[in-house]
């Protein structure tokens, strides 16, 4: 089974999730999503796998969230996904993808549910 982690090496939760995988003998593909953000279609697929609405995957305390007015209830799914692809700092992390499933690593142990 292929395992991929959307990872930010500066994030302690992301590092913990990666270590949990490695401790189980899994060497996941690592996507540093701040350098290589998912496109809109991939982010939409990830949201569907997670069963989340875009705002549920957004880091709402980031200044860019306020600066872009992303709390506007008139913004739809496509608008919010576009904001995340253009500003990947808005994407909550880590996210692990495996076997057609996805898990958000908040807390890091959640990622084990897709293995």
Among the options 4, 11, 42, 110, which is catalytic?
11
**pLDDT tens digit string along 76-101?**
999 999 999 999 999 999 999 999 99
Strands in the chain per DSSP E = 3-7, 29-32, 95-98, 101-104
Question: 88 forms bridges with which residues in the sheet?
Answer: none
What is the value of pTM for the model shown?
0.95
What's the CA gap between 15 and 40, in Å, rounded?
A: 25
Q: Which domains does the chain have, with CATH numbers?
A: 1-33+93-115 (3.40.30.10), 38-91 (3.40.30.10)
**pLDDT tens digit string along 44-75?**
999 999 999 999 999 999 999 999 999 999 99
Query: 58 an active-site residue?
Result: no
């Amino acid at each position: 089974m292929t395992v991929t982690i959307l990872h930010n090496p500066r994030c302690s939760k992301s590092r913990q999730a990666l270590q949990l995988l490695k401790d189980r003998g899994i060497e996941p593909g690592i996507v540093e999503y701040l350098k290589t953000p998912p496109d809109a279609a991939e982010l939409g697929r990830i949201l569907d796998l997670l069963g989340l609405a875009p705002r549920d995957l957004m880091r709402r305390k980031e200044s860019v969230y306020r600066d872009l007015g992303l709390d506007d209830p008139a913004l739809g799914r496509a608008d919010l996904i576009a904001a995340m692809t253009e500003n990947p700092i808005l994407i909550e992390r880590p996210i692990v993808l495996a076997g057609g499933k996805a898990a958000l690593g908040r807390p890091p142990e959640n990622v084990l549910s897709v293995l």
